Amino acid sequence: MAKLFTPITLRKTEIKNRIFVAPMCQYSAVNGIANHWHLVHLGGLAVGGAGLVMVEATAISPEGRITPSCLGLWSEEHAQALQPIVQFIREHGAIPAIQIAHAGRKASCDVPWRDGKFLSKEQGGWQTVAPSAIPVTPEHGTPVELSHSDIQEIAAQFLATAERALAIGFEVLELHCAHGYLLHEFLSPLSNQRQDEYGGSLENRCRLTLQIAKDLRKFWPQDKPVFVRISATDWVQGGWDIEQSIQLANWLKELGIDLIDCSSGGLILDAKIPTGPGYQTVFAERIRKEAGIASGAVGIITSALQAEHILATGQADVILLARILLSDPHWPLHAAKELHVDLTWPEQYVRAKHL
């Protein structure tokens, strides 16, 4: 059996294979509410054979959205819209997961196919917030520096969102601390220049992430896993880097976090990133080995043999796929054939199995 198609058990949650759908923003919600697009998109990925299907970055508040079209889970109405999607994912053999997030200073932007430009209040945007009043670029609005009470309110919103997620049947929770969004902004000295207990030293910059992770792990059922997605480096000298990421991973492991989802970048928009096949896998490998915690590899992983090699050589425990699944939602079924694994296909599609 290829490693890619062996099950993995995290706490008491058994996932049928190691192909995880990475959270991918669809920019298709109305007032943060999921709709038919999300059902078809996520449901199709479950039908396609992935072991775990993770819902896109889901905002904990209206102001926490990246764009006005991003998904949210800040009310019961939002929860009710997501519930049938969760049910469909589970019915088709995948584990339903959700990533919860706050966009921080990168909020209030237009959708990518309209260039993703910052939106003023007159254009339908809103005031952004951040650890420090430092804009992403001069073209972005200057964020308001969060007060101590603001920080505690945001921590409470993360917990309240997790409570809604559990109530509608999600089995895995992921905390978004990557890609230049709010919690990453607290981690990096390039965006966090606070002088209080949330800024300065590495321990202080990690304080909010660790506080929220502790709250989530304490609340989330002990038999279900909690992941954290990080940007392992800013790709800029003097910024957040892999050594700090390893220390953070150690602290998160002590709190009971089960897996580190290892991405990179996003804080500095003009950072020079040496992209290429599997270019972030080295981060997953170092965190897995040096922090002793399960890790996920993500980033330009496109072939079955490449994914299998990453797992077989101990570089990561799971593979998170994104754009290749947009191109081919049935990639896991095709990968199984390539690796000579006799995977069970959905009955409705079985006539195509031997094409």
Between helices 148-167 and 76-91, what is the axis angle to 10°?
A: 40
Going through 6-82 in order, the beta strands assigned E by DSSP cover: 8-10, 13-15, 19-21, 52-59
Task: Give the DSSP letter string of 268-301.
Answer: STT------TTTTHHHHHHHHHHH-SEEEEESS-
Give the CA distances from residue 76 to residues 81, 82, 158, 206, 275, in Å, rounded to whole numbers and listed in that order.
Answer: 9, 10, 15, 31, 40
Residue 226 pairs with which residues in a beta bridge?
173
**Strands 8-10 vs 13-15: parallel, antiparallel or unpaired:** antiparallel
- 181 carries an active-site annotation: yes
Residue 63 CB contacts under 8 Å (≥ 6 apart), including other chains: 102, 107, 108, 126, 127, 128, 129
Q: Which two tokens stand for residue 153?
A: 């309110």
CB burial of 28-56 (b: ≥16 within 10 Å; e: otherwise) equals bbeebbbeeebbebbbebbbbbbbbbbbb
* Rounded distance between C-alpha atoms, residue 129 and residue 138, angstroms: 15
Question: CA triplet 66, 234, 326: central angle to 5 degrees?
Answer: 50
Q: Give the chain's end-to-end CA distance (angstroms, integer).
A: 22
The count of residues in the chain is 355
Q: Tell me the HSE value of 267 on the side-chain side, using a 13 A CA sphere.
A: 30
Out of 27, 181, 198, 279, pick the active-site residue. Answer: 181
* Rounded distance between C-alpha atoms, residue 253 and residue 6, angstroms: 24
Catalytic residue numbers, as ranges: 181
